[in-house]
Structure 1
Amino acid sequence: MSPLTIGNSRDKGQLRLSWPDGREQRLEHVELRRQCPCSQCRAFRLQGLTVQVDARVRVVEVNAQGYGVQLVFSDGHERGIFPWAYLAGFS
């Protein structure tokens, strides 16, 4: 299930998703970067390490990928594709 709308607020540092069931989600850019699902970030977390993220990091580009969305961050990280199901369960 994909969201009906996606909004990105650089000023507030939030990604806003509106789901078909009426649920609205506001996801912090910093936390999205910290929880990136790419293989490099996952391997880092599996080693028990925490991905260090500057509090000023922002999503600068949102690219639809069918089953999810690629987020490009202001720190240059762009490897992760965030599946819709992953974002729907994100808190």
Structure 2
Amino acid sequence: MSPLSVGNSTSARQLRLNWPDGREQRLDHAELRRQCPCSQCRAFRLQGLTPMVDARVRVIELNPQGYGVQLVFSDGHERGIYPWTYLAQLNA
């Protein structure tokens, strides 16, 4: 299931998703960066480590990938593609 719309606010540092079931989801940029699904970040979390992410980090670019979206962050990280189902489960 993909969202009906995706909005990004760099000033509020939030990604906004509007889902077909009527739910609006707001996800904090720093929390999205901490929850990056790329293999490197996942391996880090599997070791029980918590990525240190500056609270001021922002999503500066969204690249649609069909099944999800690649997020490019202001700290230079751009490896993660966030599937729609993964984003829908986050409570950031």
Which category describes the TM-score, using the shorter chain as reference length?
A: over 0.9
* 2:32 partner amino acid: L
Give the aligned CA root-mean-square deviation in angstroms.
0.4
Equivalence for 2:14: 14
Q: State the secondary structure of the residue aligned to 2:71.
A: strand
TM-score by length of 2: 0.98
- 1:50 and 2:65 aligned: no
* 1:7 partner amino acid: G
Structural mapping, 1:20-59, within 5 Å: 20-59=20-59
- The size of the alignment, in residue pairs, is 91
Pairwise CA distance, 1:33: 0.1
Whole-angstrom distance in 2 between the partners of 1:33 and 1:84: 15
Pairwise CA distance, 1:21: 0.7
Pairwise CA distance, 1:38: 0.3
Structure 1: 5+ residue runs without aligned partners?
none
Whole-angstrom distance in 2 between the partners of 1:50 and 1:25: 24
The share of aligned pairs that are identical, in percent, is 79
Equivalence for 1:86: 86
TM-score by length of 1: 0.99
Structure 1 stretches of at least 4 aligned residues deviating more than 6 Å after TM superposition? none
